């Protein structure tokens, strides 16, 4: 099966600029996650979608981050305006269903550098 | 919310030795515990998982044990090889809370040839 696709692979922006990341999950996976992975740390959940509805966005900095999953398939994550501390790898993952014992399948991530 | 602690943060072993990584979790509603391996610059990939109704699971050189009472689980790698060098993450997935997965901060394993 095709894996989770993410783009772009790398992005360098200046602080206060905006940036958007795209994710296409594995076909048939109802649950989609965006994680932020800062160097030397584990992935931290930003937002979780079940189909096209948000089930957890408690750790999403909503003053600057937004995400959507139109039609329950692809998703975009946006940061506006970016801060230096947003420099991280943004990982998209999908799983068959949120509550089941199904593992996460990760994309290759987008490495964001904010200067 | 769930809190997952992982130890040690770095681990160096000689090729052929065993490596053990331990994680503790706080939420008794967590019922699924996967382990992911992340090589430098690559995506985390599942290597083994265990469900809360099982105490131990083994897959070739890799095993995972779970103690639900104590809320801890461990990854065991035997006969380590240089290609086992990577960052390993444990995670705990809630059986409620929309199935949220919480990750540990990772263990950097170095296997010296």
**pLDDT tens per residue across span A52-111:** 899 899 999 999 999 999 888 999 999 999 999 999 999 999 998 766 678 899 999 999
The pLDDT confidence band at residue A40, using thresholds 50, 70 and 90, is: confident
Q: By the 8 A CB rule, do B26 and B6 touch?
A: no
Q: Is A25 on the interface with B (CB under 8 A)?
A: no
The SS3 of residue A9 is coil
Cα–Cα distance for residue pair A13/B101, rounded to 1 Å:
30
Touching check for B100 and chain A: CB below 8 Å?
Answer: yes
User: Bigger pLDDT: B70 or B99?
Assistant: B70
Between CA B109 and CA B88 the distance in angstroms is: 7
Q: What is the structure's pLDDT at A1?
A: 63
Nearest-angstrom CA–CA distance, B33 and A69: 27
Of A41, A44, A106, the CB nearest to B44: A106
Distance of alpha carbon A64 from alpha carbon A66, whole angstroms: 7
Q: Measured between alpha carbons, how far is A47 from A110 in angstroms, rounded to an integer?
A: 16
Q: What average pLDDT does the segment B87-113 reach?
A: 90
Reply yes or no on whether the pLDDT at A33 is more than 80.
yes
Bridge partners, residue B49, by sequence: B34
d(CA A68, CA A74): 9
Lowest mean pLDDT across A1-5, A13-17, A64-68, B35-39: A1-5
CB A44 within 8 A of CB A35: yes
B106 and A108 in contact by Cβ < 8 A? no
Would you state the pLDDT for residue A105? 94
Contact check, Cβ <8 Å, A41/B104: no
pLDDT average, residue stretch B70-86: 97
Maximum Cα interatomic distance, chain B, rounded to a whole number of Å: 44
Inspect the interface and report whether the beta carbons of A56 and B51 lie closer than 8 Å. no
Element holding B110 (H helix, E strand): strand B107-112
Interface test with B, best of A2, A26, A99 (most B CBs within 10 A): A99
Facing residue for A103 by CB, picked from B4, B49, B100: B49
Instruction: Give residues 16 to 35 of B whose Cβ lies within 8 Å of A.
Output: 31-32, 34
Q: What is the mean pLDDT of residues B89-96?
A: 89
Q: Which residues contact B56 (CB under 8 A, 6 or more apart)?
A: B50, B63, B64, B65, B66
Token pair 């992005």 in the structure block, residue: A11
The torsion angles phi and psi of B9, rounded to 5 degrees, stand at -80, -30
Chain A CB contacts of B1 under 8 Å are 58
């Amino acid at each position: 099966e095709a894996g989770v696709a993410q783009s772009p692979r790398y992005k360098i922006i200046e602080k206060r600029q905006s940036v958007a990341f795209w994710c296409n999950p594995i076909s048939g996976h109802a649950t989609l996650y965006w994680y932020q992975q800062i160097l030397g740390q584990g992935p931290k959940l930003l937002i979780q979608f079940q189909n096209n509805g948000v089930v957890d966005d408690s750790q999403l900095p909503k003053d600057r981050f937004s995400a959507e999953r139109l039609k329950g398939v692809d998703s975009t994550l946006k940061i506006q305006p970016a801060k230096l501390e947003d420099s991280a790898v943004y990982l998209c993952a999908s799983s068959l269903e949120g509550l089941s014992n199904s593992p996460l399948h990760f994309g290759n991530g987008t490495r964001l550098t904010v200067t | 919310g769930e809190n997952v602690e992982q130890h040690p943060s770095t681990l160096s072993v000689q090729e052929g030795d065993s490596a053990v990584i331990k994680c503790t979790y706080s939420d008794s509603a967590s019922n699924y515990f996967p382990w992911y391996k992340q090589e430098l610059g690559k995506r985390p990939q599942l290597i083994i998982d265990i469900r809360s109704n099982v105490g131990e699971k083994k897959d070739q050189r890799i095993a995972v044990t779970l103690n639900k009472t104590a809320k801890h689980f461990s990854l065991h790698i035997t006969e380590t090889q240089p290609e086992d060098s990577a960052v390993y993450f444990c995670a705990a997935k809630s059986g409620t809370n929309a199935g949220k997965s919480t990750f540990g901060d990772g263990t950097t394993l170095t296997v010296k040839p």
